[in-house]
């Protein structure tokens, strides 16, 4: 008999709280799990759900906890530390894996396990949230519009705010600096490496490159070998980041990381429900071919955290009924190049 249950891991986190609450509103009954007994059990009791308490230190023991689970929605970051043991357990228990990462290295590591996932008959779907459903769909639609594209630029303009988990992941990423894809290879570049003026959908703004997940995933979705992702950043700030780039090794030192994460814990709580309602996101993309032909895409979505919640639930529902092959997938490859348009608060992708 096919497994029917699904599980949210890291259920005491900000995004997982939102996910669990919306799942119940939609009539779903996830099992909540994590390593914090008090936090996980309190949420489970409030929502009338069952709970499981376990850490990820031993993948074989995690696999035992997943023996009756069809899909895991993995929400416990930083994913650079947690995704590998969870994927290992999912391979052993033949459980589909979904997460909400935006970390380039995590996408690369998941894609490297494509053959194992195919053999196990399970789907690996990292980035099934704001990272990277909207930008991945824009990338795929631009590839359809310009099949011989050689260069792809993506970006977004948002006031979504940060959750504690996202902020801590950003702190961890400071030491890595910038990353772009050039001639098929991901290369390290200074922070805010390249700047340009972009109209994301609400007027021209100066923007600079960031190490966003699409630097990895967009190649898998489109085959385009040159990829950069942009975020609005005032030119003086971009200049300052480039100036400070030599200090990146200092930002990676354990003591500095601990202090920065401590500041995050004190100061960042995540946007409220009312704030999220008034913080949409504008997504932009541009594809160019060798002849200089350019196609542009624009998309408006809801708040990034709402996109993540609805995106994970769309992915989970799809996988609970899934009969297709296993392997590593990007959102557009598994759910369709316009799957973002199915989510509440999201408009249609417009190509020009």
- CA dist 186 to 175, 180, 273, Å? 16, 6, 37
Residue 125 lies in a domain: yes
Same domain, 288 and 329: no
Q: Are residues 155 and 278 in the same domain?
A: yes
pLDDT digits (tens, 9 = 90+) for 205-244: 999 888 899 999 999 999 999 999 998 887 777 777 777 7
Domain housing 44: 5-129+305-336
Residues 115 and 212 grouped into a single domain: no
In a domain, 344, yes or no: no
Task: Specify the range with the lowest mean pLDDT, choosing from 137-151, 172-186, 244-258, 279-293.
Answer: 244-258
* 262 and 170 co-located in one domain: yes
Cα 238 off chain centre by: 24
Average pLDDT for 260-284: 68
> Higher-confidence residue: 40 or 192?
40
310 lies in the same domain as 279: no
Cα distance between residue 193 and residue 227, in whole Å:
13
pTM metric for this prediction: 0.90
In a domain, 349, yes or no: no
**pLDDT attached to residue 270:** 58
- Are 192 and 96 found together in one domain? no
| The predicted structure's pLDDT at residue 31 | 98
How many domains would you assign to the chain? 2
| Same domain, yes or no: 80 and 14 | yes
162 and 50 within one domain:
no
In a domain? residue 156: yes
User: Using an 8 Å Cβ cutoff, are 212 and 250 in contact?
Assistant: no
Q: What is the CATH number of the domain that holds 61?
A: 3.40.50.720
Q: Is 241 exposed, middle or buried (0-12, 13-18, 19+ CB in 10 A)?
A: middle
**Which position has the higher pLDDT, 276 or 74?**
74
Contact 6, 69 (CB under 8 A): yes
User: C-alpha distances in angstroms, 151 versus 1, 64, 137, 165?
Assistant: 47, 45, 16, 32
341, part of any domain: no
Q: Is residue 316 part of a domain?
A: yes
> CA-CA distance, 80 to 68, in Å (whole number)?
26
Return the CATH number at 192: 3.30.360.10
Say if residue 352's pLDDT is above 60: yes
- Which backbone phi and psi does 253 adopt, to 5 degrees? -65, 140
| One domain, residues 164 and 251 | yes
**173 and 267 share one domain:** yes
Q: What confidence category does residue 103 fall into, taking pLDDT thresholds of 50, 70 and 90?
A: very high
Same domain, 225 and 138: yes
Residue 310 lies in a domain: yes
User: Does residue 166 register a pLDDT over 60?
Assistant: no
- Residues 132 and 213: beta-carbon distance below 8 Å: yes
Please tell me whether residues 145 and 283 are part of one structural domain: yes
**Average pLDDT in the 245-261 region?**
69
Q: Considering the domain boundaries, does residue 348 fall inside one?
A: no
Residue appearing with tokens 């994913």:
79
Q: Which two tokens stand for residue 316?
A: 């989970």
């Amino acid at each position: 008999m096919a497994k029917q249950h699904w599980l949210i891991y890291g259920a005491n986190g900000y995004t997982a709280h939102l996910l669990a609450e919306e799942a119940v509103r939609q009539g779903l009954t996830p099992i909540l799990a994590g390593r914090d007994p008090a936090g996980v059990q309190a949420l489970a009791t409030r929502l009338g759900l069952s709970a499981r308490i376990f850490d990820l230190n031993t993948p074989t023991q995690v696999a035992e906890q997943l023996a009756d689970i069809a899909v895991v929605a993995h929400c416990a970051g930083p994913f650079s530390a947690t995704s590998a043991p969870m994927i290992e357990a999912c391979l052993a228990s033949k459980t589909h894996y979904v997460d909400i990462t935006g970390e380039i290295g995590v996408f690369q590591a998941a894609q490297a396990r494509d053959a194992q996932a195919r053999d196990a008959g399970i789907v690996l779907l990292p980035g099934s949230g704001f990272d990277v459903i909207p930008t991945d769909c824009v990338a795929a639609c631009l590839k359809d519009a310009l099949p011989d594209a050689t260069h792809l630029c993506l970006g977004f303009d948002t006031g979504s705010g940060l959750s504690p988990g996202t902020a801590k992941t950003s702190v961890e990423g400071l030491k890595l600096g910038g990353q772009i894809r050039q001639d098929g290879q991901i290369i390290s570049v200074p922070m805010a490496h390249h700047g340009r003026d972009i109209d994301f959908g609400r007027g021209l703004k100066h923007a600079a490159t960031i190490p966003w997940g699409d630097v990895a995933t967009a190649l898998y979705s489109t085959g385009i070998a040159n990829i950069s992702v942009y975020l609005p950043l005032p030119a003086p700030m971009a200049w300052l980041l480039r100036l400070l780039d030599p200090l990146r090794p200092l930002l990676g030192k354990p003591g500095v990381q601990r202090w920065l994460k401590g500041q995050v814990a004190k100061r960042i709580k995540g946007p409220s429900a009312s704030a999220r309602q008034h913080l949409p996101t504008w997504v932009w993309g541009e594809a160019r071919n060798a002849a200089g032909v350019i196609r542009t895409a624009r998309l408006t979505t809801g708040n990034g955290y709402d996109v993540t919640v609805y995106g994970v639930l769309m992915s989970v529902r799809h996988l609970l009924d899934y009969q297709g092959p296993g392997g590593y997938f990007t959102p557009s490859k598994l759910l369709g190049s316009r799957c973002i348009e199915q989510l509440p608060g999201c408009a249609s992708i417009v190509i020009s």
